[in-house]
Structure 1
Amino acid sequence: MAAPHVVHIITRFDGGGSAVNTWATVMGMVRRGWRQTLMFGPSHESAMRPSEASRVAEMRRQAEAAGVGLIEIPHLLRRPAPLADLLAVRKLKKLLHRLHPDIVHTHTSKGGFLGRLAARGGPWQVLHTPHGSIFDGYFPPPITWIFTQMEQLSARWCGPLVALTEGEKDDQLAHGVGVAEQWRVIPSGVDLSPFLAIDKSENPLTQKRWISVGRLTPIKGMDRAIRALAVADSDTTLTLVGEGEERGNLLRLATELGVSERVILAGFHEDLAPRLAQADCFVLLSRNEGMGRAVVEAMAAGLPVVVADVGGMPELVVAGGGAVVHGDDAPQVAAACARLCNPEAARQAERVNRQRARTYDLNTMLDGLEGLYRQMLAGRLDLSDKSGRSD
């Protein structure tokens, strides 16, 4: 009997959290005996620097070596592009009918809409993972309204919807996306081994070094971290790990605030563990965040974490492990970091966070998805509340 075949659809294949999560899913499921095909759009929209592009090329090489089918679709763009969108749907539909998968798993907002539109009416099962929401911080209000309508409509074209956190699920339902019976919560899985291996005793606490990891875009709130640095002790430093279009603006902001010598733009790093090992406090002040893979990695590294009160990030933080703050309140952020970098608090955070991080192990995510796939193929899902829904 042939192994079940899952086709994944996502707009861009880069070093960002949603793409890495999708890649990890594909790689994990193919090791478990499932056939996997990944359809994705061009990566040039991500403005990747050489280090990130090299990492993505290696991810693609590993996927091909593992037997994953990789299909790049030039018209599958993240930005709104009506003509390209129509061509992408046409291509996706043609490929799906040629491959005839058992399951179509779409990812992210734009990829999810176009993928589910292309999959409509086929003999396969369909599910969708938004990887966060687009309701705040990404687009001007009129564009956000359009995307919200798209999410509400395309939820009718699939079975299960997968949220990374309870907070994300509640946010999606509050915006009218799907019905409660459709939603499942399966946290993003992280390979914790390189972070759990960090020996904090080899890195004496200095109480001075903050670190943040993420794409340098407005949604990630790196400007907020710089503003918090400006009101922190004068010998505190901030390392930003990542690349993106906001790099120049962040440098200018640091100069305007007089902290340019204390801000280190480290660029994209494939291996984050050495960077986290040399930090005292992790900060992520995103304006919108599905879950925050980098937060889990920092927790596994034994760092206290300070996160903004958005999306699923507050769910990650437990007593003694960090603080949830308002991202625009620079004094609050600075005070939280100072409190958590106290030696006693830092030791407690190390114990608490390393234990908490194990909740988000890669195999936990794969177990959840594999169980959901099998339920779908067996027709055992309870999606009974179809009120107000139509195909």
Structure 2
Amino acid sequence: MSASGERRLLKILHIDPERNWGGGEAQVLGLLTYLAKQGHRQYLLAHPQGQLWPRAQDSNVSLIPMIARNDLAVRPAWAIRRLIQRENFDIVHLHTKRAHALAAWFAAGSRRAKFVVTRRMDYPEKSSARARWLYNRGADGVVAISQKIADLLRDAGVEERKIRVVYSGIEPARFRRPRLGSTPVGAIVGTVAVLEERKGLRYLIEAAAQLREQGLPIEYRIAGAGPLSAELQELARRLGVADRVQFCGFVSDPAAFLAELDIFVMPSLFEGLGVAALEAMAAGKPVVASKVGGLAESVLDGETGLLVEPGDAAALADAILQLLQAPERAAGMGRRGAARVEQRFSLDQMARTNEAFYYELLAQS
């Protein structure tokens, strides 16, 4: 804050060395775009072949290449240390686990910058000692994208005063799309997810098999790519639902995909918040989701969707069936979900809260 009471513009370094595009990278891009509009001077350390790099080029951000092959990549860490010493940043924001792991090598290189870490996953910390060292000594502030993550960090020994809950956000207007395809004979149930174990997609396929036994004409669409693609397709064949389950691969326009669904399902085993569920809610879809992580904070059970225990295909099938048998109830959930996202989970709100946290940390010095 300046003597005149106006907030001074900040010099901010963002670090996200991941190659793939995920919910976290979408949040980083949204934050970059918002902060650029506020006039802050920003730098982004990112993988030059990563999917965030080309998208960030339109955000008025200075791009710096960074390749870190693992958490012990000492050479790029020393280069970052020199950069921090030279540029005198106000804020260094570490957006991924890999970036945070490297911070121990370069955090001591700044006498001015405040280090902020964003924690997006709801995995419990395996070592409380490691958590205390990484978060209490290697960070001035910790952004948790859900209260569940904040609780896990606190339980691992992270100082509560350092933690701020900042929910991930989306642009709700992007997902208000009419259904363009012809009206299907039956219902369409779908999801958007990386095809990996923690997303629990095998339980959706098992639920599809259980519902088929009841003779219900349901089509299932799974959008996304990942290491379990072949295994999940084989499971669908083995359970006799390969003709009902469509693997759509990566979709470049998730809003158009969501517009065609009747019910969105997120059967995750772990989930920081569930941005895909927020997008489905913004599209006016009722959500069936696992009662894990931040999903229990974004999806209100009985109000905007139904929550089930993780790893329970029978419960998943029952929840889908409940909504199919009560279309007016499902439609009401969709409307309430869209209103909830508009009120609590906008991209601008996420970015504004991060910005306010930056100023709060700087005021402590």
- Taking structure 1 as the reference length, the TM-score comes to 0.83
Unaligned runs of 5+ in 1: 45-55, 136-143, 381-391
Distance 2:363 2:231 in 1: 52
- The change in CA–CA distance for 1:72 and 1:232 in structure 2 (over 3 A counts) is farther
Matching residue of 2:330: 346
Aligned mates of 2:256, 2:166 — CA distance in 1:
28
User: Alpha carbons of 1:200 and 1:339: their partners in 2 closer, same or farther (altered >3 Å)?
Assistant: farther
Per-residue CA distance 1:79-136 (angstroms, 9 max, x = gap): 55x4xx222321221222233211001122221121354122512111111112343x
Q: CA deviation at 1:65?
A: 3.1
Task: Tell me, in whole angstroms, the C-alpha distance in 1 between the residues paired with 2:295 and 2:182.
Answer: 27
CA–CA distance in structure 2, aligned partners of residues 38 and 227 of structure 1: 42
Distance 2:183 2:206 in 1: 26
Instruction: Report the secondary structure of 1:306's partner residue.
Output: strand
Offset, 1:62: 4.3
The corresponding residue for 1:16 is: 22
Alignment of 1:276-315 (within 5 A): 276-315=258-297
| CA contact 2:193–2:276 (8 Å) conserved in 1 | yes
1:162 equivalent to 2:143? Answer yes
Corresponding residue SS for 1:12:
coil
Distance 1:357 1:67 in 2: 28
Residue 239 of structure 1: SS of its match in structure 2? strand
Residues 1:243 and 1:372: Cα distance change in structure 2 (over 3 Å): same
Q: Is the 8 A contact 2:85 2:109 kept in 1?
A: no
Which residue is 1:364 aligned to? 349
Alignment partner of 1:336 out of 312, 316, 319: 319
**CA displacement at 1:205 relative to structure 2:** 8.1
- Residue 175 in 1 paired to residue 168 in 2? no
Q: Give the drift of 1:207.
A: 5.7
Q: Distance in 2 between matches of 1:127 and 1:116?
A: 13
Equivalent residue, structure 1, for 2:118: 129
Q: Deviations over 1:33-75 (max 9, x none)?
A: 111111124667xxxxxxxxxxx3xx5334223321222212x
Task: Please provide the CA RMSD for this pair.
Answer: 2.3
SS in 2 for 1:7: strand
Asked if structure 1 preserves the Cα contact closer than 8 Å seen for 2:192 and 2:222, the reply is: yes
Does the CA contact (< 8 Å) of 1:200 and 1:302 recur in 2?
A: no
Distance 1:317 1:65, change over 3 A: closer
1:229 is matched with: 208
- Note the C-alpha offset of 1:13: 4.1
SS class of match (1:320): coil
Q: What's the counterpart of residue 384 of structure 1? A: none
Q: Does 1:214 align with 2:193?
A: yes
Deviations 1:316-368 (A, max 9, x none): 12232111112211111011011123211122112211111111011111111
CA distance in 1, matches of 2:261, 2:123: 31
State the partner residue of 1:66.
59
TM-score normalised by L of structure 2: 0.89
CA distance in 2, matches of 1:206, 1:174: 50
Instruction: Work out the CA distance in 2 between the residues paired with 1:126 and 1:203.
Output: 51
Which AA in structure 2 matches 1:343?
Answer: P
Q: Which residue of 2 aligns with 1:246?
A: 228
User: How far did 1:378 drift?
Assistant: 2.5
Corresponding letter in the other structure for 2:350 = M
What is the distance in 1 between the residues matched to 2:75 and 2:61?
Answer: 24
Counterpart residue number, 2:86: 98
Name the CA shift for 1:203/1:24 in 2 (closer, same or farther; >3 Å).
farther
Return 5+ residue gaps in structure 2 as ranges.
3-7
Counterpart of 1:145 in structure 2 is 126
CA deviation vs aligned residue, 1:231-290 (integer Å, no higher than 9, x gap): 113422221111111111111111111111111111111211111111111111112111
| 1:192 has 2:172 as partner | yes
Q: Is the 8 A contact 1:214 1:220 kept in 2?
A: yes
Q: Report how far residue 173 of structure 1 moved.
A: 1.5
Q: Counterpart of 2:319 in 1: which secondary structure?
A: helix
Could you say which residue in structure 2 is the equivalent of 1:387? none
Q: 2:364 aligns with which of 369, 376, 379?
A: 379
